[in-house]
Amino acid sequence: MTGASSGIGRAIAQACAAPGVTLALLGRDRERLIETASICKAAGAIVEIGAIDVRDPAAMHEWLISFDRDQAVDLLIANAGVTGGLSPHSAVETAATSREVLETNIFGVVNTIQPLLGAMIARRAGQIAIVSSIAGFVPVTDAPSYSASKAAILRYGLALRSGLRGHGVKVSVICPGYVATPMAAREIGPRPFEVSAEKAAELILHGLRRDQSVIAFPTFLAFITWLGGVMPDRVRQFTERWFRFDVTDSK
């Protein structure tokens, strides 16, 4: 799993940790990754970590292929992601912010999944989970690159699901609403129906066990967001004022 050093990734890892379970945890922050690994080892899991940037395709390919050679991956979770958005008093995202968000959230997912697709197809087994967002349902004025990236991987994941159905590989796309994580804490504004990372992990794993195509929560907020994405643009712009926010520079 990528993005395992904190937030939803850490919560999922902790929920999965148990005797007899082997976890492969990847993230950019080695110290926080070691903390996650320690929690999971205390629960009895075998843990391997990789401090890798998902934007590095060669490093991702090498690490994942090596791990899968020794321990066939049953569940691959592409969770790494970054937020973006407008700083207070700014009208647009910076070019650097847009590049970081799009490269991490889109190509980071591709770099996570592509190395193992061949092996999973050959085994006719395995499950892939892609963490998108309810922001993928609707254009988000204050975070255009983020919503674009999450929309892209939502469609990418659903297309993979259709294409891999006949090869024995399951694919689900996860679209959380507001989750109390360090990344979400950067947003200055309302966060309706926010859930804890632990609750998010519980809902995600429940949906994966049921092989849901899209695991979106909370249900009401997901529906309202989806509805906003199909509304006429004038109506959408009128309703979005309740969801405006700024993003702080701290991470």
Catalytic sites, residue numbers: 146
Q: Residue 103: exposed, middle, or buried by beta-carbon count in 10 A (0-12, 13-18, 19+)?
A: middle
Distances from the Cα of 60 to the Cα of 13, 93, 111, 177, angstroms: 19, 28, 6, 28
Q: Smallest Cα–Cα separation from 181: which of 168, 192, 197?
A: 197
CA atoms 221, 227, 228, 230: torsion sign: positive
Partnered with residue 226 across adjacent β-strands are: none
Give the tokens for residue 45. Answer: 């899991």
CA atoms 18, 23, 26, 29: torsion sign: positive
Alpha-carbon distance 86 to 167, whole Å?
Answer: 42
What are the CB-based long-range contacts (under 8 Å, 24+) for 189-196?
189/142, 189/243, 189/244, 189/245, 189/246, 190/242, 190/243, 190/245, 192/221, 193/218, 193/220, 193/221, 196/11
Q: Smallest Cα–Cα separation from 118: which of 68, 154, 162, 157?
A: 68
